[in-house]
Amino acid sequence: MEPLEKAKNFRGPDGPVVLVILDGVGIGKYEEGDIVRKANTPTLDWLSQNSFFSQLKAHGTAVGMPSDADMGNSEIGHNAIGCGRVFAQGASLVNKSIETRALFEGDVWKELIENVISHNSKLHFIGLLSNGNVHSHIDHLEALLTEAKNEGVKNACVHILIDGRDVPPTSALEYVNRLENFLAVLNKDSDIDFAIASGGGRMKITMDRYQANWGMVEQGWSTHVKGEGRKFESSTEAIKTLRDENPGVIDQDLPPFVIGRGNEPLGPIVENDSVIFFNFRGDRAIEMSQAFEDDEFDKFPRGPKLKVKYAGMMQYDGDALIPKKYLVSPPGINRTMGEYLVKADVKQLAISETQKFGHVTYFFNGNRSGKFDDSLENYIEIPSDIVPFEERPWMKAAEITDKVVEAIQSGEYKFIRLNYANGDMVGHTGVTPAVEIAVETVDMCVARLLKAVKKTKGILVVTADHGNADDMYQRDQKTGEIVFDQQTGKPKPKTSHSLNPVPVYIYEPTGTVKMRLSEHTDLGVSNLAATCLKLLGFEPPEGYTPSIVEID
């Protein structure tokens, strides 16, 4: 790759350029339900009047999703922020691979199907059951099931993870009923037995990330693989019963369940079976993949490695090669901002708490594990608390801020990137009083960063990767009216990301840099990379989307 060229008219600030990502803090379309607007945010309010301000798209085609009806997420958002360009992302890649039949003509698919047919064993599917299009899509599952039957598979089990996070919080039966009806059609042939075998809420089992809570994965292993746990005759019965027993529970928190025929579990995973994790997004699929694939495993009492054929929808970690087999190749993202800065001898700091640590490192670097240069990069992970986010909405924002203020004042780094997870992680709970505290927490923390940047004559860039806390009520898709809960009379909470734009504030405290907003329109989060490079005194590389500001 070509080296960065230094700008002729600006050498960069005396202090560092600090990129602050307020995860899940967007610009709401409606006043009601926009907790970012409702919260007391004196720092962001001040920045809106005293910095260069613009709005950025953070969803849909602006971040590589198939259409503008698709929400963004933290993974693809940090991909775009870090590489300065837009790549076709998970859902788009899987859609294309299915449409062209490349997935089914691939060696991995053929190997898994052949294994099942030759051993007269079962084909298992594990993944998030919804059309949220963030981790997975039910259309993909149905396509895989259809092709499996067409190729001669007689027995298949689906282990469903209940969403309620990227879709309405109590919409599980919509997807379960659809899948049950779909399976019933496939099962019309007398020798076909395709069925749901187990399930549970996505924040209860299986879908942990960043090794924050291996207990979730252990519970998922017991449920899906061993078939251990409370048994029900159907997933519909399980969901209805568990809701009745846990008033107010939302789908993502539903306890695990096993479908049984008599006293026996319907679909434990046993030797010579084939298993597909049909999520396309990586962060919450890595740990279960390790449990299936690692020869030596000490995260929980798994027992000997299970002799099965295992594959992910995609490879979830390209550097660690997790999993070893996958159906669709991820986008090849190169020439990231972090790599360019290392080549330019710029020392960098990346920091967040566990929940978003992989986003400011792995995803920011183009789905690449590890550092480009140990001597020029420092990655700091602040361990997240393992408690419900609504019970501790401040999370680790203060601890992150302590470290960043220290780093700014040290003079050691020229570029610092950080993520405050609060707006997103607390936003996903749907508990609006907690979300308000979360937003106010990060506003207080940004105030501290602002002071440190001002003192060191650096430049502060405050933005977000996507919205969430700005859109906390469900609305009728046609009218836009709030949907109310008939029992409580209160607005139904919305726990998924929003389709709203996100802010960007660029604060240069000295007032000596002749800076102006660029005339480019249709800006998105991918424009942030060129912006940061320009603020550091470099010309953005060829192919990067343009900078948000110009320096005269």
Q: Which positions are catalytic?
A: 74
Question: Which stretch of DSSP H or E encloses residue 315?
Answer: none
* Helix residue ranges per DSSP H, 374-431: 397-410, 422-425
Q: Torsion angle, CA of 177/495/472/463, rounded to 10 degrees?
A: -140
User: Parallel, antiparallel, or unpaired for β 309-314 and 274-277?
Assistant: parallel
Partners of 17 in beta bridges? 415, 459
d(CA 152, CA 149): 5
Q: Per the structure block, which two tokens stand in for 175? A: 């997807």
Burial class (CB in 10 A: 0-12, 13-18, 19+), 444: middle
Contact 408, 400 (CB under 8 A): no
3-state helix, strand, coil in the chain (%, to 5): 35, 20, 45
Specify the amino acid at residue 269: I
Residues 6 or more apart whose CB falls under 8 angstroms from that of 394 comprise 422, 437, 438, 441
Helix, strand or coil for residue 494? coil
Secondary structure, 3-state, 115-180: HHHHHCCCEEEEEEECCCCCCCCHHHHHHHHHHHHHCCCCEEEEEEEECCCCCCCCCHHHHHHHHH
